[in-house]
């Protein structure tokens, strides 16, 4: 096993564990922190795969901007805090069974693939080529996503202000 394979499996395990922790927490601030760790792991995977621009975009956009937006929404909506605990076992059972099925299917696919021993060539995504592709072909989708994030922020402001007026 090469060093890159070891790094890949360690990063994949960290991403899966931190995402799993984010899903199972009830404290929303802890969820954001775990998702930030998951996004940093994803950025390291992008860098490992030869896409440094995607790695930087992952950190700037997801770990930075979107998680800060989520923190603002959490603070403005002022949800009641629940005690930090896992969900009941009856809710975990179907998820665990489906997860085991996916793991078995994934292991079978990876182990039975005819080219699983072939080393892949390193691909390098040039930032200028990626930027041209993204903003020439998908500019409308980028604008729609930014508009949706703006609407979510305005909605959180409205919900936060509405609760403050009710308390008076």
pLDDT for residue 126? 78
Query: Consecutive sets of 10 residues in the chain, 168 residues long: mean pLDDT of each?
Result: 82 89 82 87 85 83 82 72 59 72 71 62 74 85 87 81 56
Q: CA-to-CA distance for 155 and 141, rounded, in angstroms?
A: 21
pLDDT for residue 123? 66
Q: CA-to-CA distance for 53 and 151, rounded, in angstroms?
A: 28
**Which CATH number is associated with domain 3-126?**
1.20.120.1200
pLDDT for residue 110? 63
Question: Between vectors from CA 152 to CA 147 and to CA 156, what angle results, nearest 5°?
Answer: 150
pLDDT for residue 117? 63
Q: CA-to-CA distance for 30 and 36, rounded, in angstroms?
A: 10
pTM equals 0.57
Provide the residue ranges of all domains of the chain, joining segments of one domain with +.
3-126
pLDDT for residue 86? 58
Q: CA-to-CA distance for 59 and 56, rounded, in angstroms?
A: 5
């Amino acid at each position: 096993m090469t060093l890159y394979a070891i790094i890949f499996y360690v990063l994949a395990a960290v991403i899966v564990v931190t995402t799993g922790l984010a899903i199972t927490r009830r404290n929303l601030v802890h969820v954001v922190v775990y998702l930030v760790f998951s996004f940093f792991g994803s950025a390291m995977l992008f860098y490992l795969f030869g896409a440094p621009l995607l790695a930087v975009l992952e950190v700037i956009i997801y770990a930075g901007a979107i998680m800060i937006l989520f923190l603002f929404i959490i603070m403005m909506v002022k949800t009641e805090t629940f005690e930090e605990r896992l969900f009941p076992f009856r809710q975990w059972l179907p998820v665990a069974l489906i997860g085991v099925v996916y793991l078995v299917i994934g292991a079978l696919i990876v182990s039975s693939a005819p080219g699983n021993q072939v080393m892949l060539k390193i691909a390098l995504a040039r930032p200028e080529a990626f930027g041209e592709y993204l903003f020439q072909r998908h500019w409308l989708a980028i604008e729609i996503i930014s508009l949706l994030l703006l609407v979510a922020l305005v909605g959180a402001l409205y919900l936060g202000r509405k609760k403050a007026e009710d308390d008076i």
